[in-house]
Amino acid sequence: MHDRLTQSMRASHLLAAFFVLAALGLAATGAATGDSFYLRLGTEALIFAGLALSVDLLLGYSGALSLGQALYFGVGAYVSALTLMKVPSFWLAMGAAFAASLVTAIIGGLIANRVRGVYFALITFGLAQVMAKVVYNTRELGASDGMIGIPVVEIGFGPVSVSAGSPAGFFLIVLAIIMGLYALTAYLVDTPFGRVLTALKANERRVPFLGYSVWRARMAAYVLAGVIAGLSGALYPMLRGFVSPELMFFATSGNAVISVVLGGVGTLIGAIYGAVLLVVLKSIIGSWTEHHLIVIGLLFMLCVMFLPKGLAGLVRPRIAALLERRKQGPRAGAAPADLGSVAVKPGSTS
């Protein structure tokens, strides 16, 4: 019998599989009808899903709310754009974005991880603000206009290659990368490292007594989240052909937090669903009013207050229960609770 964390992660994987199927369906329909608008919108949603995933790794597992995750997203995007303008190579751009976000996240982590709780939230916010303003003021980076005219790359996999300009092809590549990042994160939170993170969220003071370094675990989570955000950001200029300082502003970080809360904090797959939901909501509401913030803000507040585990919190425990029942036969007892209740009540082991 697996513990609850593994169980709920399995339910997440089922939701992830469903997500991939739906995305493949969209890609097939889009390719068949020659659509580019919805495929490009879907690709953008996936890219922001990567950013949401990185926020959820921090908030949902180590309990640290980052209000400045767009910093790493923006670093990835700008470095990728700069690389592509010099050498139009997908792999080089991704490698450079990886290295740059790794280094930035280590520096950012050294600063932000000196504090916790509210201070952490506000320092990450401040760090992103500094960086966004620096980019905004630097003429070499296009200042407030950003940089345009980033060339369309050919993404080569040995003998075959896909153009980033092909809507369906690039959608599939982004889907593979984002789901790869999801798989990596989901795997890591299921390892002993992930358990230390969960322990941090439940009770940070007890963790040192178990022989683990709080700082090291927090730092590892922070750097990992920064790299995930950076790699997601690196895909943005390939899709849109431009980068702008807005990618680093608070609105971008805020949207990622909204996605995570809508989808379900601490579920990973929920963050991805949440990001897609947010993009869909914005374009639907945006088609009849420009004041979409009211609806999204209201939905967000209701989620925080009445649905603390988000949409995934509604669905996932049922799937987990179903999975468990199928394995153990109909005699299996109470439905397993979701991960959150384990974290809140460390004493309950039933």
Q: How far apart are CA 309 and CA 313, in angstroms?
A: 4
**Nearer to another protein among residue 57 and residue 178 (C-beta):** 57
Q: How far apart are CA 237 and CA 21, in angstroms?
A: 26
Q: Do the beta carbons of residue 256 and residue 69 sit within 8 Å?
A: yes
**Nearer to another protein among residue 129 and residue 166 (C-beta):** 129
Q: The tokens 């593994």 sit on which residue? A: 6
207: tokens are: 């963790």
**Type and span of the H or E element at 274:** helix 269-288
- Least Å distance, CB 111 to another protein, is 6
- Least Å distance, CB 183 to another protein, is 27
Residues 6 or more apart whose CB falls under 8 angstroms from that of 68 comprise: 124, 125, 126, 127, 128, 129, 250, 253
Q: How far apart are CA 278 and CA 259, in angstroms?
A: 6
**Nearer to another protein among residue 15 and residue 71 (C-beta):** 71
- Least Å distance, CB 346 to another protein, is 12
Q: How far apart are CA 249 and CA 127, in angstroms?
A: 11
With vertex at residue 86, the alpha carbon angle to CA 81 and CA 91, rounded to the nearest 5 degrees, is 65
Residue type, 238: M
Q: Could you tell me which of 107, 343, 83, 120 has the C-alpha nearest to residue 235?
A: 83
**Type and span of the H or E element at 163:** strand 160-163
Please provide the distance, in angstroms rounded to a whole number, between the alpha carbons at the two ends of the chain.
Answer: 13
Give buried/exposed letters for 232-248 (b at 16+ CB in 10 A, else e).
bbbbbbbbbbbbbbebb
**Nearer to another protein among residue 6 and residue 144 (C-beta):** 144
**Nearer to another protein among residue 25 and residue 297 (C-beta):** 297
**Nearer to another protein among residue 201 and residue 240 (C-beta):** 201
List interacting residues with another protein (CB under 8 A).
59, 63, 65, 111, 114-115, 117-119, 121-123, 125-127, 129-130, 133-134, 136-137, 250, 254, 257, 261, 291-294, 296-298, 300-301, 304-305, 308, 344
**Nearer to another protein among residue 82 and residue 296 (C-beta):** 296
- Least Å distance, CB 119 to another protein, is 6
- Least Å distance, CB 221 to another protein, is 16
**Nearer to another protein among residue 29 and residue 144 (C-beta):** 144
Residues 6 or more apart whose CB falls under 8 angstroms from that of 67 comprise: 121, 122, 124, 125, 128, 250, 253, 254, 257
- Least Å distance, CB 123 to another protein, is 6
**Nearer to another protein among residue 42 and residue 274 (C-beta):** 274
- Least Å distance, CB 321 to another protein, is 24
- Least Å distance, CB 167 to another protein, is 31
- Least Å distance, CB 45 to another protein, is 20
